[in-house]
Chain A
Amino acid sequence: MSKGFLAQGSFTTTEKRQNIKMKLGIAGLCLAIFIALLSAFWISRSPPVPTAIADFKAPFVFGRFSIPEDNPLTEEAFQLGRRLFYDPMLSGDNSMSCATCHQQERAFTDGQPVALGHGGKELAFNSMSLANLLWGPRRFFWDGRSPTLEHQALQPLINPDEMQQPLDELVRELKSAPEYPEMFWKAYGEVSEENVARALATFMRMLISANSKYDRYLRGELRLSPQEEHGRKLFMAHPDVKVSLRGGNCIDCHSQFVTAGFSDGWDGFINNGLDAEQNLGRGLEAVTGDILDRGKFKTPTLRNIAVTGPYMHDGRFATLSEVLTHYNSGIQFSDTLSPLILEADNTVVDPIAAHGLGLAPKEVDAIIAFLHTLTDEAFLTEPKFSSPFEEETQ
């Protein structure tokens, strides 16, 4: 029985109530028989072979990605995952869906400094963009506490501060919902916690952003403006005063094409100088237990970065300008500060205590202009990534 049904008010007389109860009882019995027959029908059938995603193409330059052998990309899994992603049934009180904190028009972030969980409670971290999760670090969340996307997908559901959804209850609800049993059947065979995770992971894996101005530039379809091109060059360069090479040092952490952190081991987690030693958050240390990982957080993708603010793991910077000011003059030294950041200085040869890049205002503006070329309007408005419920009501 759905929670919505339980929430209905009562305003009828006792007799009427009894009649209604009787009718409801009969209807309930019929419904139970129908569900039982339906279940038997589903069980008696062999699961269909899921359909490969039609015309799937990912940019070659983004690099290799790997799909778990027990969760291949299929059309049925994607459609199921999309529906689950937007369905508030995934929260305990049916008030929140994944999309509450991951909104398509914001590249699947929420515009808040930190995510807001159940009852508006402020959570510890900023909502991460879900773009291009096929690439980048193979651990998920800012502190890397999830080893797979399937594992990650369920964590907000079961977290009492977030969606407060016991999974066994969710499975019961999904089995009772009119549309889900068949969708699960077609995608995976049965409704289960594992298959909820698989479907959500599939939907997230399919959120590929690869049609920004930068992508079209990479494909040779257009030119960047002189300012954007200047910014691109700075983005790609590690400064070297000895040879007069000016650089923004971005590529040292944000790989050239995907602009996410590196995928090897823990390379995608760094301390980017936000805080001095005494104020360092635990970050990756909370996962590895290694004090040398203190203050290291996941390097996020910069795809669509212009629409994903506020920035950093705790959303401390409201604008890209504030972010660049941090890298340019606000680096805080600590024991685990990335040496790539420590050494990045456009004003000092062989810096040992750098506090920032030392870029000129024009150079900062150029980098910001380049970052805006990473906005992918097609991704932000792609209908197949949008809520299916809105489609159904139109």
Chain B
Amino acid sequence: MFDFSLKFAALTASNTALIVGVLTASSQAQVREESRAMVLLRSLPTLSASHSVAIVELDPESEDFGKIISEVEQPELEHPLHHLYYSPNGRLYSTGLDPKCSLAEIGLARDSTGAPEVTGIQCLDTAGQMVGEDIMWTRSNGTEYMFVTFMGGLGQADGGTVGVFDAQTNEVIKVIEARKSEVGENAPYILYPHGISAFDDRMVVTSTVHPDLATGVGNTVTIIDLNTLEPVQTIEVQGEMPVGFPSSPVEVLFARPSIHEDIEPAVLVNTMFGFETWSIPYDAEAKTFGPAEVVYSGVQNGTAVPLEFYGNDTELFISHALPGVVKRYDLSKLPKLVSSGPDIVADAGAHHMIFFTTKSGREVIAIQNNLLNLGDAKANDPTDVDFIAGLNAHTITVHDLATGERLATVNFRERYKKGVDNVEGLFGAGFVHHH
């Protein structure tokens, strides 16, 4: 098959074939798409624009940096989609803040140039559960399900549910609900759940805040037995009250050996209004949780509104909306928070993040800087809410991962008249330990 003779070599112009179909340097670079991000954009109250799902180039070395590659408007909804998640099989889902679309599946495809495109948004039946927040896929009795936290639950003042969905068909299998007003005293309850994480047969969800930000605020996490899909324990994480509210636990990470073999299992919890990170040790053999303790104090360290946990192979990253920084820790030392480097200084509202490598091979972190896309009174915006308005830079900042140096910024408010609610790696997670 290899030995073609001189005669044939002379008869052919095989070398000319070498010059056709060769990928140029620029088209080679297109093969890499990890720098392209899925983002949820929302109209800002004083700016006329529509909510949308978009794909944005975030490589600072690309001439398309900040450019929207593909965009599809969200359905006619007052409140936009909220958080994006890829299923283990590569299907893209979004939770939503509008009761009409609290959970959706987003269609993706590729055109004849290979470019990714958003093809549509399908709102899913949630059996009345409202205000979707976080999603995770894990097993219960050997079967994989999609678990979704609904901070608004079924609409009650002390509501909040965890929806269990068939991972293939998206059908509701069970609504896990335990309202404080209905369960007995000292019985476990679920209130405004937001964060979700799991290890072995134990799942943990947080009790954050009623979606109207006024009816109630939580200060606990609740453990769910994945064998029975029933809550089994509620644990309080209440310390400092720097703004006078209960602690409002928001995101949670079940630190576990599968993240790093040196990790002793424990639940890490960020409290949005307590400005703290808590650790709750877990004895996997006895299936018991130890006393919760504060492992980071925002009051003592000059930070507020800790939000997300993300990680790579060696570090854990925690975003703090104020002053807008991402702190980094040695992954192997969890659940202790041992610093692994200086803060990455982003913008106010530092929140979700993705990790990728630029065209030249530089490792970077892109941080979405918005807590909620509510307006700012200074912009004559009627949706201004004190305290929250200062947490919305409407930007994605891109930083060198090693040094934290800011390399570039996309200001979505200025460029697209929209806020940016969420960022996710285009082709699955740009991180490994969101839950």
Residue positions of A touching B, CB distance < 8 A: 52-53, 56-73, 115, 117, 123-125, 134, 138, 145, 147-151, 153-155, 158-162, 164, 166-169, 193-194, 197-198, 201, 217-220, 222-223, 257, 263, 286
Most chain B C-beta atoms within 10 Å of own C-beta, residue among A64, A125, A162, A219:
A64
Assuming A166-B8, A220-B169, is B20 touching A71 (CB within 8 A)? yes
- The 5 lowest CB-CB distance pairs between A and B, nearest first, are A150-B21, A166-B11, A61-B90, A60-B108, A56-B112
Q: Which residues from B are CB-within-8-Å of A150?
A: 17, 20-22
Contact of A158 among B4, B108, B109, B170 (CB under 8 A): B4
**Given A160-B4, A168-B12: A68 and B20 interface contact (C-beta under 8 Å):** yes
Task: Report the interface size for chain B: residues with CB under 8 A from the other chain.
Answer: 42
| Residues from 33 to 58 in B contacting A, C-beta threshold 8 Å | 33
Please provide the chain B residues from 384 to 427 with a CB less than 8 Å away from any CB of chain A in the complex: 427
Instruction: Return the chain B residue nearest A162 by Cβ.
Output: B1
Specify the chain B residue showing the minimal Cβ separation from A194.
B20
**Complex: chain B residue closest to A122, CB-CB:** B1
Give the contacting residue for B4; candidates A56, A159, A194; CB below 8 A: A159
Contact check, A60 vs B116: say whether CB atoms are below 8 A apart: yes
A66 touches B27 (CB 8 A): yes
Residue in A closest to B109 when the chains form the complex, CB atoms: A57
Tell me whether A60 and B90 are in contact (CB under 8 A): yes
- Please tell me which one of the listed residues B2, B16, B113 contacts residue A67 in the complex, with CB atoms under 8 A apart: B113
A154, A218, A263: the one within 8 Å of B90 (CB):
A218
CB contact between B109 and one of A58, A117, A125 (< 8 Å): that residue: A58
Main secondary structure of the interface of B (DSSP, over half): loop
Q: Is the CB of B13 within 8 A of A124?
A: no
State how many angstroms separate the Cβ of B170 from the closest Cβ of chain A.
7
**Contacting pair A194 B1 (CB below 8 A):** no
CA distance A73 to B113 in the complex (A): 8
User: Using Cβ atoms and an 8 Å threshold, which residues of chain B touch A219?
Assistant: 91
With A193-B16, A217-B89 known, 18 other A-B pairs at CB within 8 A are: A57-B111, A58-B114, A64-B114, A64-B427, A66-B27, A68-B27, A72-B113, A147-B18, A148-B22, A150-B22, A151-B14, A158-B11, A159-B4, A159-B8, A160-B4, A194-B20, A198-B20, A217-B168
With A72-B112, A167-B12, A194-B17 as contacts: A148 and B1 at CB distance below 8 Å: no
In the complex, are the beta carbons of B110 and A65 less than 8 A apart? yes
For the complex, is B23 an interface residue (Cβ under 8 Å from A)? yes
Determine if B31 is an interface residue (Cβ-Cβ < 8 Å). Answer: yes
Of B19, B22, B427, most buried by chain A (CB within 10 Å of CB) is B22
Could you list 7 A-B pairs, sorted by A, with CB under 8 Å?
A: A58-B109, A134-B114, A150-B22, A151-B20, A154-B14, A159-B1, A198-B21
